[in-house]
Each structure stands twice: as structure tokens, then as C-alpha cells.
Amino acid sequence: MRDTSTENWRQLSQKYKEDVYGRYCLIRGLDHRRHTHAPYQADLCIQDGKIVAISPQWEGNCRTRVDVTGKIVSPGFIDIHTHSDTCPFSAVFPESKVAQGITLEIVGNCGVSAVPILPSCQAEQTAYLRKISEIPVPEEAVRDASVQKYAAHVAQTGYPSHLGTLIGQGTLRAGIVGFQDRPLTPSEMEQMKFLLDDQLNQGALGLSLGLIYPPGSFSPTSELRELARVVQKHKKILAVHMRNEGPNIFQAVEEMLSIAEETGVHLHISHLKLMGKAQWGQAPRLLERIEASRQRGAVVTCDQYPYTATSTILAALLPRRAYDGGSAAMLRRVSDPDTSLLRDIAEEMERRGGADAVLVASTHGSAPEYHGKTVSQLSVCLGLTPAETVAHILARCSGTVSAIYFSMSQEDVHTIMCDMHVAIGSDGSAFSLQDTQGLPSPHPRNIATFPRFLQTVREHRLMSLQDAVYKMTALPAAILGLRDRGTLEPGKAADITVFDYESVCDQCTFTNSLVAPSGIEHVLVSGVFSLKSGSITGARPGQVLLR
């Protein structure tokens, strides 16, 4: 077989167990229509990065044939919620997303994006991005960055999959007023709207909010409403990590639904979940509240990862006021925590499941002896209370610590998973799976979200394979307004994932997660194999998709 990275023609002989291309989705308020075709066998032909034919039996010439009889040939998986913003600048090959079947990653989520970076505030914005990111952030990744410059860099270097970017509201705010806990002045608000409008004109896919992370958490609803109107003008999406996903989740969701109803913006709720035992069992009620807003005319979609553990920075346990003044001010407070700060840390930790449920995933090299241990275990080792332990770890590691929180119920995860307005998103970054010995273990969602979703659907019989594929492909494409991918049809991009439905599974554990999933056979990005016969090819056919 010839090297497909240089071929003009490629052909996949395929045998469908389920239909995986005839899915149609139109999201306009309540108009959410889907249709399927009966399973069938067909040959799929690719030329110059596009699908040119799907026929019962291809009789024409081709330079390469790949027999995938018995496997599922699907549109490439679209990871609608990732944090791989700086992975194109990484010195290692970030293959963990392609290895799980992903052909397109959407970065810039949770209010944090690598663009735009303003020269006047580069130091503060860079510190912010580095604190949130799970991977190192090279200096060149954040130098005078914009959507167009980001796209130009990826066009020059390539990437294993395609990328699309949202603009982080926290990044915008940090660039204008830093980490001051106050409303914007009218002139600052206009500057923020101008910057957002400019980046959307350059091709960004929407705006993201991270309302638990300063400085986004400093923003009143009125500020968010003004920005939503700018997004609506461009007919793009407003993605949100809501202010609360635990005790106050219903107030948090009502805030965002009111913005969607008042402005008409397409609201996309990130990683929809219910955290903490007090909230368990309320998924049906939460979905009903969102559906009621759709009934009133709002356009609302969501995404979810298929795990009962969350992951974010350890500093998420701090109250909002701890960040007033920026990172340096926060570090001073955790280095000498007062009684009030320790009380707030303890209360938030308890809401997330307690000290036994908080696992230190990575200190990014500052204290590797903490990796893979719970706050409870470290508390005993250090002779401190759990809250004091959290403050100590943050102070020692300059606030840059990733943690895993075991705080959700499987029943709620499955209930949300079955809602057909909910796409699949990893909420993770792309990692290298080579030479992993001694490295910390990030949340498995970084490595195996999509195989885990398929495995969960199969083992618990939650939905048909057609519906599962739809949630990974056509649904996110429709949410993002990407008309040239998400389904397999002549004329569309040849982003294709081939997998074995009976064997696809997640092989990670929470303390040994840098392990490739099984069952993903081939991944083609614009007709080029990024994964072939289960092995990474090293190809970098990906580009930044602009809209």
C-alpha cells in the first residue's frame, strides 16, 4: 500500500453495521429533525481531501484500497469542547485526540483562549493561560496572538487533526482590566465588544465564558448580555462553563437561559453535569428546565463527557475574592491563609465530595511526589487539615495544579447522555502517548472520551449506534455551523473515523491514563491518514477551520 499522505486517490471498501452518514440536524429553536437510512454496504471514494463518491460498488480506478469490512465507517468525531489551544506549539507530537477518532477539536473553551493576546497585557494573560492549561505554554504561543495569526501558525506547522477556536471572555477581560473584581466602565465594555467583534470577523466560531474562573467570574450578567448580542450578530455560539454546577446549578442555568431568551444567541452549555451528592438524581429536572427554555424559543445545546469524575485546577476550591488583584495576590493569600479563606476552601471541597474525592493529577513538575494522591492522603502526610493542605499545595506549586474530583453519579451521567441535544466533548487537551513513564496521569477524558462514550452506550444499551455517532459528528457540526463535515456525503470533507464497535473501549485508569484506547482502526483528516491500522502515522494534515 502506498503512503497515503501523497496520494490523490484513496478508496475505503466498507461494510456498515449501522447507517452512519445519513443523519440530518437542523437546530432552530424547537426544529430538531433527524433521519436515518437502512444499513448498507458501500465503497467510499476520496480525492483531494474530499469525498467524491459513495456507491454500492466502485468500478473506477484508484491508487489505494483499504478493506474495512465489518467495521463502522463514520464521519470523523468532532470534539466540541477541548483545551488544546497551545498544543500546536508543543515540542512533542500530541496524538491522544487522533488516537480516539477525533478529526476536529474546538479550543478556546471555559473563557480561556490563546487569542487574542494584547501586547500591553501579555504577561498577565500568559500567566492566566498557563495556570488554566494542563500542558506547558511556550512563549511563542502567546505573542501578539490573533485568530488569523493562530491559523497561520497551524497552516505552517500542521496538526494531527483540524482545529477551530472560540474566544475566551476571560482572556478578553484580562487583556483589558486584568484581574480587577469590578464592573467594566462603558469605554472598557466598548473595547471588549470591539475586540470580540474583530476576532469573530477573523473566523472564530463563537465566545466562551468560564464563570467559575477569574476574571470571568467577576463579570455581572449585564456584561455577558452585551457580549451575547455581539455573538448573535455573527450567528455564532455562546458557550458557557456556568457559575455553578453544584448546589446553585439551577440559578446558574437560569442566568444563562435568560440571556439566550433575551438576546436570541445560540447558547451552548459546556460539560453539563450535577456535582455533589446533594444534587444527584436531579438530571431529569435540569433537562426539563432547559427544554422549557427551548419551548419559549431559545436555541440551547450542550456537551458532556462520559465520566463521573470532573477535572479542573485545584485553585477552583478558592473563593472568587482570593483572585482579586491577580495571580500574585492569590499566591500571597494561600501562602498565609486566614481562617475565612480556609473555611471557604473546606466548604467548596465538601461540596465537591470531600478530601477523599479530590485527587492531585499534576503539579506540572513542582511537586511530583503529590501526583496520584488525594487531598486526604496528603493531609495525613503533611500533618495539616485538608483545607490547609490545599493552600500549601497551591503555594508550593505557584497555583498551577490540576486535580480530579469524584463528584457525579452514573445515573445522572447516563440521563444527560441520552438527551439528543447533548454532544460529546472531552474538556481535555491533546497529549503525547509516547515515553510516558514517570509522567503524571491526566484525567482519562484527555485520552479516551469518545471510545468511553461508545463503550458506555454499548454496555448499557443507552441508544442506537446511529444516535451515538450522530452525537459525535452531525450534532456538533450543526451546533458550530460547519456545513462541510459531520456527515459522509459526496462533496464534503474526507474527515473519517473507522472503528470496531464491538471492541472499542477506554483502557485508562485515573492513575495510569496515558494509554491509547482500543478499537479505533483508522482516522483520516482531509483524506490523509493520521491513524492507520491503529498506529499514529505522524501526519499533520490539520488546519484551523474559520467561519
pLDDT band of 337, cuts 50, 70, 90: very high
Asked, for residue 513, whether it belongs to a domain, the answer is no
Least confident residue range of 5-19, 156-170, 386-400: 5-19
- Quick count: other Cβ atoms within 10 Å of Cβ 402? 23
* Predicted local confidence at residue 364, as pLDDT: 83
In a domain, 49, yes or no: no
User: What mean pLDDT do residues 130-148 have?
Assistant: 72
Q: What is the CATH number for 109?
A: 3.20.20.140
pLDDT at 335: 95
Give the number of domains in the chain: 2
Do both 96 and 203 map to the same domain?
yes
Residues 305 and 363 in one domain: no
Q: What is the pLDDT of residue 18?
A: 30
In the chain, the percentage of residues whose pLDDT exceeds 90 is 77
In-domain check, residue 296: yes
Which contiguous run of DSSP H or E holds residue 454? helix 445-460
**What local confidence, expressed as pLDDT, does residue 40 receive?**
72
In the predicted model, is pLDDT for residue 30 greater than 60? no
Round the average pLDDT of the chain to a whole number and report it: 89
pLDDT, mean of residues 31-56: 76
The whole domain housing 354 covers: 314-403
Q: What is the pLDDT of residue 61?
A: 82
pLDDT band at 20 (very low <50, low <70, confident <90, very high): very low
**Length, in residues, of the chain:** 547
pTM for the structure as a whole: 0.90
Is residue 368 located within the same domain as residue 290? Answer: no
- Per-residue pLDDT band at 514 (split at 50, 70, 90): very high
For residues 186 and 254, state if they share a domain.
Answer: yes
Does some domain include residue 36? no
Per-residue pLDDT at 140:
66
Residues 305, 332 within the same domain: no
Whether 483 maps to a domain, the answer reads: no
Report the pLDDT value the prediction gives residue 213, as an integer from 0 to 100: 92
Query: What pLDDT, in 10s, does the model give residues 346-401?
Result: 999 999 999 999 999 988 888 999 999 999 999 999 999 999 999 999 999 999 89
Task: Give CA angle at 408 (406, 412), nearest 5°.
Answer: 160
In a domain, 356, yes or no: yes
305: pLDDT confidence band, cut at 50, 70 and 90?
Answer: very high
364: left (phi > 0), else alpha (psi -120 to 50), else beta?
Answer: left
User: Hunting for cell 444516535 — which residue is that?
Assistant: 467
Question: What does each C-alpha distance from 355 to 209, 359, 386, 399 come to in angstroms?
Answer: 28, 8, 6, 18
Q: What values do phi and psi take at 387, rounded to 5?
A: -65, -40
Burial zone of 60 (CB within 10 Å; 0-12 exposed, 13-18 middle, 19+ buried): exposed
Locus of grid cell 499566591 = 331
Instruction: Tell whether 244 and 393 lie within a shared domain.
Output: no
The predicted structure's pLDDT at residue 129? 73
Do 259 and 159 share a structural domain?
yes
> Same structural domain for residues 306 and 319?
no
Give the pLDDT score at 424.
98
Residue 58 resides in a domain? no
Contact 179, 327 (CB under 8 A): yes
pLDDT at 395: 95
Checking if the pLDDT of 231 tops 70, the result is yes
According to DSSP, the β-strands at 520-525 and 496-499 are antiparallel
pLDDT at 94: 92
Q: Which of 91-105, 424-438, 493-507 has the lowest mean pLDDT?
A: 424-438
62, part of any domain: no
103: phi then psi, degrees, rounded to nearest 5:
-110, -10
* pLDDT mean over 397-407: 92
In this structure, the answer to whether residues 251 and 343 fall within a common structural domain is: no
Whether 96 has a pLDDT exceeding 80, the answer reads yes
pLDDT above 60: residue 3: no
Predicted local distance difference test score (pLDDT) of residue 11: 33
Same domain? For 91 and 213 the reply is yes
| 223 shares its domain with 300 | yes
Q: How far separated are the first and last CA of the chain, in Å rounded?
A: 36
Q: Are 53 and 32 in contact (CB under 8 A)?
A: no
271 and 415 together in one domain: yes
Q: Residue 39: its pLDDT value, please?
A: 62
